[in-house]
């Protein structure tokens, strides 16, 4: 039996980052992975989807070349080549993680890991051989997968999840996307940009329902302008896959209607990967599909920790990474503070992009704050006009009494790269006046943040 200081079960953006930080801190570390290093994020999620979305964006640019005074005739796409590029990007990133494992002297153990009592893990390799490993600390980072609804059972062909959506062998003429969170909206944008007829069905009243209501409404307008059909307050109650395509029964306030499509993408959330990994045998407590942990990710059983999508909190790659780093730094007796889950940025990479952090306007009011709200549209931005991306706005929310930056909500070109300003400022307890008096470069998209703050305080110049 091999003995380690730390064994990490799962090599996604939570697991591999945790392993690297553990090694940096001097722990003898091993990581267990049943498929490819990098997990879903690098291989089937965050990274390859962005490669697909970039291809869609370039295709749109080429189709609208005349808007920029250019000529591009006979523009077409090669769907197979687009998918292949995405897979090549993912493969390159996974190889990069392999390099990082070697560089940091982390032992990579391939196979399916099962937790055992006494701080042990049994690993079953592809050839069926089982090997047991032990460690002073075991960190569970097994991630999540596409959630299935009883009314929408995935068969991997006509009713698919995000994984199949990235590697279809042909482009569907008609696609029905069920769920309008980040995954659903990103794929809806991609397939629509590629030329598919796309309809989005959302159970709640607004698309991207976790976002500020004004952002949701703006995105709905932008998506409809692009040709995507949107059905909110709607539910798919049953599907018929007996024919060539799919017939989906959709229930709305007006009654039921049947929508036909070649493929239905189920994007209704995720399911934690906590089955058959030994939680029950070890006695690790779970609640509502999540492993229960304290502020430093220790479970109820000493020596066993859990991070990422399998614990309460936002199911995001950057959250999993931050949790893992915090977990091992606490194990190394460093002076660390619990993660502030109220200051986690969220991003959706459709076009226009969405980025947000903190409270929505509605949430701030519900919490009893007296607020100042500022908003600056990109239609008034010189840089946005120059690059042909005037859709969207920046919205900021401040506590009127103390100037605390309560929330920031953006929709527009490149806003996923702009949101970090608000995250850092909120971390540093920066006030609205400090942002307003920090000189922002011109012309940039980012100066819309300053202008929005100026609007909140009645000092906006360009609006």
Kindly list the catalytic residues. Answer: 442
Contact indicator for 194, 174 with CB cutoff of 8 Å? no
- What tokens were used for 343? 């200051």
Q: How far apart are CA 224 and CA 212, in angstroms?
A: 19
- Count Cα neighbours of 102 within 13 Å in the Cβ-side half-sphere: 5
Contact indicator for 328, 21 with CB cutoff of 8 Å? yes
Q: How far apart are CA 152 and CA 408, in angstroms?
A: 35
- Kindly report the number of other CB atoms within 10 A of residue 219's CB atom: 27
In this structure, the strands spanning 346-348 and 353-358 are: antiparallel
Positive or negative: CA dihedral 210, 16, 144, 95: positive
- Indicate the angle between helix axes 79-103 and 46-63, nearest 10 degrees: 140
Name the E strands within 232-282: 235-240, 246-252, 255-261, 263-266, 270-272
CA angle 49, 106, 139 (to 5 degrees): 75
Q: How far apart are CA 153 and CA 9, in angstroms?
A: 29
Residue with tokens 């039921």: 256
- What tokens were used for 318? 């950057």
Contact indicator for 375, 394 with CB cutoff of 8 Å? yes
Classified as helix, coil or strand, 339 is coil
Could you please report the per-residue DSSP string of 396-453? EEEETTT-BEEEEEEEETTGGGTTHHHHHHHHTT-BHHHHHTSPPPSS-STHHHHHHH
- What tokens were used for 305? 């920790």
In this structure, the strands spanning 229-231 and 286-287 are: unpaired
HEC secondary structure over 124-148: ECCCCCEEEEEEEEEEECCCEEECC
Contact indicator for 44, 163 with CB cutoff of 8 Å? yes
HEC secondary structure over 168-214: CCCCCCEEEEECCCHHHHHHHHHHHHHCCEEEEECCCCCCCCCCCHH
CA angle 388, 207, 355 (to 5 degrees): 55
């Amino acid at each position: 039996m091999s003995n380690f200081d730390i064994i990490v079960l799962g090599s996604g953006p939570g697991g591999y980052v945790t392993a690297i930080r553990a090694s940096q801190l001097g722990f003898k570390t091993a990581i267990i992975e049943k498929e490819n290093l990098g997990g879903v994020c690098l291989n089937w999620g965050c990274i390859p989807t962005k490669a697909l979305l970039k291809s869609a964006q370039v295709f749109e640019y080429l189709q609208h070349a005349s808007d920029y005074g250019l000529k591009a005739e006979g523009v077409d796409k090669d769907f197979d080549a687009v998918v292949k590029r995405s897979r090549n990007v993912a493969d390159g990133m996974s190889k990069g993680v392999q390099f990082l494992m070697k560089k940091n002297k982390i032992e990579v153990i391939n196979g399916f890991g099962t937790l055992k009592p006494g701080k042990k893990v049994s690993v079953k390799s592809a050839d069926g051989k089982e090997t047991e490993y032990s460690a002073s600390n075991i960190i569970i980072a097994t991630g999540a997968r596409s959630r299935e609804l009883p009314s929408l059972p995935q068969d991997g062909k006509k009713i698919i999840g995000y994984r199949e959506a990235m590697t279809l062998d042909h482009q569907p003429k008609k696609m029905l996307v069920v769920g309008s969170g980040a995954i659903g909206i990103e794929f809806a944008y991609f397939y629509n940009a590629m030329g598919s007829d796309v309809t989005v069905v959302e159970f709640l009243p607004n698309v991207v329902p976790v976002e500020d209501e004004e952002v949701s409404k703006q995105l709905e307008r932008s998506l409809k302008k692009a040709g995507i059909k949107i059905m909110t307050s709607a539910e798919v109650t049953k599907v018929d896959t007996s024919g060539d395509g799919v017939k989906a029964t959709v229930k709305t306030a007006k009654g039921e209607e049947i929508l036909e499509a070649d493929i239905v993408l189920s994007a209704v959330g995720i399911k934690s990967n906590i089955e058959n990994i030994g939680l029950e045998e070890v006695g690790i407590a779970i609640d509502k599909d999540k492993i229960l942990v304290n502020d430093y990710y220790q479970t109820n059983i000493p020596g066993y920790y859990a991070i990422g999508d399998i614990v309460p909190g936002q199911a995001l790659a950057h959250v999993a990474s931050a949790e893992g780093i915090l977990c091992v730094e606490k194990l190394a007796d460093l002076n660390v503070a619990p993660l502030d889950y109220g200051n986690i940025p969220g991003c959706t990479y459709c076009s226009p992009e969405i980025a947000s952090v903190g409270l929505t306007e509605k949430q701030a009011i519900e919490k009893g704050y007296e607020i100042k709200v500022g908003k600056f549209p990109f239609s008034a931005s010189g840089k946005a006009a120059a690059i042909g991306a005037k859709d969207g706005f920046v919205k900021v929310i401040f506590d009127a009494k103390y100037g605390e930056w309560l929330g920031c909500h953006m929709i527009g070109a490149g806003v996923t790269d702009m949101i970090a300003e608000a995250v850092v400022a909120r971390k540093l307890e920066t006030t609205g006046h400090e942002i307003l008096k920090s000189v922002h470069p011109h012309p940039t998209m980012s100066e819309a943040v300053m202008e929005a703050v100026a609007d909140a305080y009645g000092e906006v110049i360009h609006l």
